[in-house]
Structure 1
Amino acid sequence: MPRLSLIIPVHKVQAYLPECLDSVLGQDYADFEVIAVDDCSPDGSGAILDEYAARDARLEVIHLTENVGLGRARNAGLEKAQGDYVLFLDSDDTLSAGALTAISDRLDATGDPEILIYDYARTYWDGKVRRNQRADLLANDGPDVLSLRDRPELLDLLQIVWNKAYRRDFVARTGLTFPPGYYEDAPWTFCSLISAEQITLLDRVCVYYRQRREGGNILKTVSRKHFDVFDQYRRVFDYLDAHEELDVWRGPLFRKMIDHYLTVVEHPGRLPHKARAEFFRRASADYRARVPQGFTRPAGGQGHKYAMLERGAYNAMVSATRAARLRHEVKKRTRAAVNRSKRRAMGVFYRSQLRLPLDENLAVFSAYWNRSVSCNPAAIEAELARVAPHIRRVWAIRPDAVDQVPAGTDYVRVGSREYWAVMARAKYLVNNVNFGDNVVKREGQVHVQTHHGTPLKTMGLDQRKYPASTNMSFSKLLKRCDRWDFSISSNRFSTLVWERVYPCSYTTLETGYPRNDALVNAGSEDVRRARAALGLADRAKVFLYMPTHREYQPDFAPPLDLARLADELGPDVTVLLRGHYFYGTSAHADELRSTGRIVDVSGHPEVEELYLAADALITDYSSAMFDYGVLDRPIISYVPDWETYSAVRGTYFDLLQEPPGAVATTQEELLRLLVSGMYDTPQTTERRDAFRRRFCTFDDGHAAERVVRRVFLGEQTPLPVVPFDERRPVPTPAQALEVAEPEHP
């Protein structure tokens, strides 16, 4: 039997679950089992659990067929536990390094007590870590083993189960189980503490308690669910009634109950306004029914509140707390004044438009900070025109970029009266980056964040670890992300990254990237048309070179001698360069450019056309590799500065170990690969296949339609994804020249 059993209930935590499991399975202590209970989670949590279980036999997964809630999910894990001690961990929290060793050592040193209490720290999205405010209660300044009679102040610790190790035979003997409901920790915590004769303390942070911005906690919701607290304290006092020997705890637990009730009543973010009086009446009834004989109310203001609750004096209670409410209102008015100031800065016209009704048939699109009509928003807009032509589609474009707008496209200049009018009244706002801070998210508006690439480099909150990569305000970033209603994902890898680094209350749509539909649905004629538009010779071998931006380089300068590359590859090879500026001003480079062997396509409006035209892609850390992978054509990773880039910007996986194909770290290696043809071998094909299965999961040619039907038409059942092995790649340029294939369906 293992020494420790860790029970982890799991529900809708796919963005945080890997970190939780890694913190447990990566402990330097080995004598434990993990029982993870998938509480019928609707996201990818169950699949993540199965993947981890396949790699580590210490993890057992239970998949429940219906959602039963946190307490009963823990019960399901308890039934399977075999360890001497049972520990609980929430699936968005983590263990600290060495936690299990410290817990086991303390249990050994104190002769296996019934309960061990250890400490925790709260972790916040902005990187702050704050230890439990009552950490002083865990100081080892007395006997190693004690009971609650020795330290009754332990009842003042937060009512949680996951900061304790419980001897399993103690749990069985006391008959402890978790009830249904939302305050299920209270009965378990109080009943276990008053029943234990042997308690020991560990003055060490063993759990990091994640404070999620987007909620996920009943304490952060206004709801009638808080009435559940009455049932939970009924269970506590039923337990006392059944154990006369524990009657000494009736007074302290009565006080904990009343303090808890008053907290719910007084907190402005708990109960709906119309439910406060009802809650107060029920709390008052509990007070009178359970007040112990001879109970003495606490002194001061708290005692006055006890007296009003006992009398049922709700109106008096409201008056007594008016000062606190007024302070809250002052803060609220201050925030409103700040918001009004921001709106004034937007202009009188915008404010007037914000007061008008939303136009249910108006959608605004933007891409790359209003620079172009492109990327995922453009693909969604085109599909919207096909499926729901009654919705007016308008693009927001910078004044200096209006010449890039295709003919026939409806657009408004950013900053104009027309711009502020559509931004204020459009039902739908679609962007592949965030809209500006001065855009107000109105109630009823729907914001769609499409993103513009699968992340290799760190994004969002993860960039805090790499300060040289950004100087952004992360708090402002998350306020912008709070406006999202939907986040588009092209693969499960991206889903988990986005949900973790942008922890806001949006819905993830795993649809595939709409812009990649063109790469899946193209045919031979599309490939020939793309090459002809670029003036490429029919039989030319074409390499598309797309280096990414490097934060540590002030100017764009590709780490590649393009003139030499084109010269050594010979006259039948053309290099397309997609970057910020054309590199190479020598006479020789100009000559190569004039012959068409180096083509600067940095300003080309449709990157998908470049992908279709190219025989192979040369890139470094650009998200282009994930899109080009859809075509199932060779990809060469040219990464001469991998160590520098990964250290400065940070990456989510090691590109040298998990590349989409061949890898070169010097220009000489790159030349050898290209000249010899070794960039396209069975080995590189195998790497590309693994890469595509991981990152091109949902790109089956129907991504835009999925988005339109879910967001604009409200359809809840998505189109099924075409199985990966049933997809037929777009013809290569050579195949397109040889056979005029019919268009893909």
Structure 2
Amino acid sequence: MLLTVVVSAHRAQGYLRAALESVTAQSPAGSGPPIGLEVLVVGAPDGDLGLAIARESAERDPRVRVLVTDGPWDTGAARNAGAAVARGAYLLFLDGDDLLLPGALAEISARLADDRPDVLRLGHDRVDWWGAERPGEGLPAARNQLFRRAFWEAHRLRFTEGPYGDVVPVHRAAFLASDAGTLASLDRICVRHRLRRTGTSAVPPGRAHFAVIDAYARLAAGTGGDHRVPAARTAHLTAVLDDPERIAPGDRAAFFRAAGLPGRYAAHRGGEAVRAGRTRARGVARAGKKALRARAMSAVYRADLRRPLDPRLAVYGAYWNRGFACNPAAVYAKARELAPHIRGVWVVSSRHRERMPPGVPYVIEGSRAYWRTMATATYLVNNSSFPGGFTKRPGQIYLQTHHGTPLKTMGLDQLPYPALTKGVSFERIVAHTDQWDFSLSANPHSTEIWDRAYPSSYEQLPYGYPRNDVLCDATAEQSDKIRAELGIAPGATVLLYAPTHRDYREGFLPRVDLERLARALGPECVLLVRAHYFYGRSAGTAAGDRVLDVTGHPRVEELFLASDALITDYSSLMFDYACLDRPIIAYVPDWEAYRAARGTYVDLLSGRPGDTPGAVATTEDELREVLCGGAWRSPEADALRAAFRDRFCPYDDGHAAERVVRRLFGVPSN
């Protein structure tokens, strides 16, 4: 028996990969006849990354096919397109943010072995963006039904266009199967719907959910006023009404009137009053926090918030106010060239003020000048966050550049790792995300992760990292100049060792004897050691001609240019370094501990093209062998690096900063 799973994939780029893997990883083994799979992913040709993810899945798994719709996206039309070409005996319709839970296919196989129902209802639940599980709504929906395809086609069942397009076919199917005695249920939870803060692309939060009223009007007309419609309608409309992520409190009275339920409104208001009391209690607690923050802000800041925004002022920050660096620095430099009318001012902490280059304007965080700048700047650019809980005003435009491609879990994806997130306020992370207007993406992988880890309504900018422009335009003369400034003799082989920090360990502790490694490599080799910035400005390593501590060097891009190869572990530097097309050695002696403690998106040890950047070592002895034996620059390592570079550096062409500046400040192209 073949099951066709139709997956409508539109604007679900942060969720789709897991959705498809949840289906294709299913084992058909069960007590009944094995079930084969056909997966039809239906997308739209509008530049959505989800279509590329679907095609990747189809290249790996012949059971997956990709369909592309014509015209404006509509979920119902996409599902109909999938059903029209399905070959399976049964149909299951999932969205890109749904999951088929482990073991579901085996359970379905066993249930279908008992009989061949026309409709099989599946147990289902929901999980919100905090990871909290909720029971399913108890209402029929496309995602929690299996339909026998011959039955679907015989009764000409089709999804309608627009929001709530599954109401008519799902209920009609249920009524028909119930009348024929061919409606069955599987109590096991098989499908999980992942709720999104911004709603689905089809039905975002707001009055668009009023469409459910019209959907039931169509159902009543299409079934000749079937006596079961009113009960189904009331249950569904009540569920929609009680969901604050769909109908806002201010719209509830209008929803009641539109639904023709005025008699029920008074009773509902009573229940609403109880909920409002709870909301007020929470509001009092929040007000206390806001009052505390307000007292910390100076009177001048409150006054400055009433000043008009300065359309020519941009404020920049990097690495929690550590100075002039990273993507914001590259954007600042390009803005001075392409948008000289924009005055840029940097935010820096008092202990890092010496890091500011001469001639670059800055304000000290928490100072009066800082608060005035934050109150009146039209443009905000940062790779982390601005200090002090500033109030983002209407009209301010915030660009979040980020500061690396995610290898370890980020944002809300860290929720399953509570041991390492003590003191982290995920509510604050979400509140910060809601300030962003633009989120810069270094590659499709980052776009996919940011969409899920930082859920909000910002616009993704798939432009590449401005800080990498210098790598794309690198020359041998630049490398030689930087080497000379570091005191490195001409002709030396330079290896940059740049491990990241460990959440579960304090202080910088290299997992390799650097002096011993330098001796093994010989006098022609120099090791540059750069610790993570969390550890300060020194790695604490012994200095000398062969091992140089470059932790305090202001620009890691210059260290990249000075080196012949990078040795790292889980640092996002590897993704930037790949732009140079120079060897990368992954030295990961604590891989299993790191993955278990923090979680990772990329399996460095898999050996798969696109995952592993080059040669890999898991012990100090292996690292010496890789370097001394030449495996770090072998044809095999070169091939892995090329695939890694293709995956993570597709936008890096030397013009990322220009694209960002033109988009952010509205500078027209020549």
The alignment's TM-score, normalised by the length of structure 1, stands at 0.81
Aligned residue among 162, 165, 189 for 1:181: 162
**Structure 1 residues 676-715: aligned runs within 5 Å:** 676-713=629-666
CA distance in 2, matches of 1:19, 1:260: 29
Structure 1 residue 518 displacement after superposition: 0.7
* Count of aligned residue pairs for this structure pair: 651
Partner AA of 1:699 in structure 2: D
The answer for the alignment partner of 1:22 in structure 2 is 21
CA distance in 2, matches of 1:685, 1:649: 29
CA distance in 2, matches of 1:261, 1:639: 54
The answer for the alignment partner of 2:617 in structure 1 is 664
Contact 1:435 1:480 in 2 (8 A): no
Partner AA of 2:324 in structure 1: V
Evaluate the alpha carbon distance shift between residue 675 and residue 237 of structure 1 in structure 2; reply closer, same or farther with a 3 A threshold: closer
Provide, for residues 535-557 of structure 1, a one-character-per-residue CA deviation record: whole Å limited to 9, x for no partner: 22222222222122122322212
CA distance in 2, matches of 1:265, 1:115: 28
CA distance in 2, matches of 1:121, 1:278: 29
CA distance in 2, matches of 1:93, 1:560: 44
CA distance in 1, matches of 2:447, 2:483: 34
Aligned residue among 186, 199, 212 for 1:215: 199
Evaluate the alpha carbon distance shift between residue 600 and residue 32 of structure 1 in structure 2; reply closer, same or farther with a 3 A threshold: closer
Evaluate the alpha carbon distance shift between residue 705 and residue 331 of structure 1 in structure 2; reply closer, same or farther with a 3 A threshold: farther
The answer for the alignment partner of 2:31 in structure 1 is none
Partner AA of 1:70 in structure 2: T
Contact 2:585 2:615 in 1 (8 A): yes
Partner AA of 2:215 in structure 1: Q
2:172 aligned with 1:191? yes
Contact 1:8 1:88 in 2 (8 A): yes
Greater mean deviation of Cα atoms: 464-473 or 439-448: 464-473
Structure 1 residue 336 displacement after superposition: 5.6
Partner AA of 2:49 in structure 1: G
Structure 1 residue 530 displacement after superposition: 1.4
Give the match's secondary structure for 1:32: strand
Evaluate the alpha carbon distance shift between residue 329 and residue 128 of structure 1 in structure 2; reply closer, same or farther with a 3 A threshold: closer
2:571 aligned with 1:639? no
Evaluate the alpha carbon distance shift between residue 439 and residue 278 of structure 1 in structure 2; reply closer, same or farther with a 3 A threshold: closer
The answer for the alignment partner of 1:253 in structure 2 is 229
Partner AA of 1:534 in structure 2: L
Give the match's secondary structure for 1:679: helix
Structure 1 residue 673 displacement after superposition: 3.6
Structure 1 residue 255 displacement after superposition: 4.7
CA distance in 1, matches of 2:196, 2:440: 21
CA distance in 2, matches of 1:160, 1:628: 47
2:78 aligned with 1:79? no
Structure 1 residue 693 displacement after superposition: 1.1
The answer for the alignment partner of 1:516 in structure 2 is 468
The answer for the alignment partner of 2:401 in structure 1 is 450
2:319 aligned with 1:343? no
Evaluate the alpha carbon distance shift between residue 192 and residue 669 of structure 1 in structure 2; reply closer, same or farther with a 3 A threshold: closer
The answer for the alignment partner of 1:125 in structure 2 is 129
Evaluate the alpha carbon distance shift between residue 645 and residue 333 of structure 1 in structure 2; reply closer, same or farther with a 3 A threshold: closer
Partner AA of 1:231 in structure 2: D
The answer for the alignment partner of 2:94 in structure 1 is 89
The answer for the alignment partner of 2:263 in structure 1 is 305
CA distance in 2, matches of 1:168, 1:101: 20
CA distance in 2, matches of 1:657, 1:260: 47
CA distance in 1, matches of 2:289, 2:540: 51
Partner AA of 1:201 in structure 2: S
Structure 1 residue 514 displacement after superposition: 0.7
The answer for the alignment partner of 1:298 in structure 2 is none
Give the match's secondary structure for 2:632: coil
**Structure 1 residues 60-459: aligned runs within 5 Å:** 60-109=65-114, 111-132=115-136, 157-196=138-177, 197=180, 198-216=182-200, 221-223=205-207, 225-241=208-224, 249-250=226-227, 252-257=228-233, 283-284=259-260, 305=263, 323=273, 327=277, 330=280, 334=284, 338-436=289-387, 438-459=389-410
CA distance in 1, matches of 2:165, 2:306: 44
The answer for the alignment partner of 1:489 in structure 2 is 441
Give the match's secondary structure for 1:162: helix
The answer for the alignment partner of 1:532 in structure 2 is 484
CA distance in 1, matches of 2:6, 2:56: 18
Structure 1 residue 37 displacement after superposition: 1.2
Partner AA of 1:384 in structure 2: A
The answer for the alignment partner of 1:287 in structure 2 is none
Contact 1:634 1:661 in 2 (8 A): yes
Greater mean deviation of Cα atoms: 530-539 or 196-205: 530-539
Output the aligned Cα RMSD.
3.0
CA distance in 2, matches of 1:319, 1:167: 43
The answer for the alignment partner of 1:10 in structure 2 is 9
CA distance in 2, matches of 1:711, 1:96: 42
Structure 1 residues not aligned, in runs of 5+ = 134-156, 242-246, 285-301, 309-315, 720-745
Provide, for residues 451-496 of structure 1, a one-character-per-residue CA deviation record: whole Å limited to 9, x for no partner: 1112222222333333343322323222222222222111112222
Contact 2:164 2:211 in 1 (8 A): yes
The answer for the alignment partner of 2:604 in structure 1 is 655
Evaluate the alpha carbon distance shift between residue 617 and residue 82 of structure 1 in structure 2; reply closer, same or farther with a 3 A threshold: closer
CA distance in 2, matches of 1:272, 1:337: 24
CA distance in 2, matches of 1:74, 1:714: 41
CA distance in 2, matches of 1:428, 1:6: 45
Structure 2 residues not aligned, in runs of 5+ = 29-34
Structure 1 residue 373 displacement after superposition: 0.4
The answer for the alignment partner of 1:47 in structure 2 is 52
Aligned residue among 578, 583, 605 for 1:629: 578
Contact 2:441 2:460 in 1 (8 A): yes
Structure 1 residue 263 displacement after superposition: 7.3
The alignment's TM-score, normalised by the length of structure 2, stands at 0.89
Contact 1:40 1:67 in 2 (8 A): no
Structure 1 residue 382 displacement after superposition: 0.6
Partner AA of 2:161 in structure 1: P
CA distance in 2, matches of 1:567, 1:10: 55
Provide, for residues 125-171 of structure 1, a one-character-per-residue CA deviation record: whole Å limited to 9, x for no partner: 222222236xxxxxxxxxxxxxxxxxxxxxxx324121111122222
Evaluate the alpha carbon distance shift between residue 63 and residue 600 of structure 1 in structure 2; reply closer, same or farther with a 3 A threshold: same
2:556 aligned with 1:607? yes
Structure 1 residue 267 displacement after superposition: 7.8
2:565 aligned with 1:616? yes
The answer for the alignment partner of 2:431 in structure 1 is 479
Identical amino acids, percent of aligned pairs: 46
CA distance in 1, matches of 2:577, 2:281: 51
Give the match's secondary structure for 2:95: coil
Provide, for residues 574-619 of structure 1, a one-character-per-residue CA deviation record: whole Å limited to 9, x for no partner: 221112465677xxx55xx1xx332211101011111111122222
Structure 1 residue 703 displacement after superposition: 0.8
The answer for the alignment partner of 2:42 in structure 1 is 37
CA distance in 1, matches of 2:418, 2:244: 37
Provide, for residues 81-131 of structure 1, a one-character-per-residue CA deviation record: whole Å limited to 9, x for no partner: 22222211111110111112212221221x212211111111122222222
Structure 1 residue 631 displacement after superposition: 1.1
CA distance in 1, matches of 2:600, 2:244: 42
Partner AA of 1:366 in structure 2: G
Partner AA of 2:158 in structure 1: T
Structure 1 residue 377 displacement after superposition: 0.7
Aligned residue among 505, 515, 518 for 1:566: 518
Structure 1 residue 323 displacement after superposition: 4.9
Q: Which has the larger radius of gyration?
A: 1
Partner AA of 1:15 in structure 2: G
Structure 1 residue 400 displacement after superposition: 0.9
CA distance in 2, matches of 1:407, 1:485: 31
Contact 1:434 1:481 in 2 (8 A): no
The answer for the alignment partner of 1:736 in structure 2 is none
Evaluate the alpha carbon distance shift between residue 514 and residue 657 of structure 1 in structure 2; reply closer, same or farther with a 3 A threshold: same
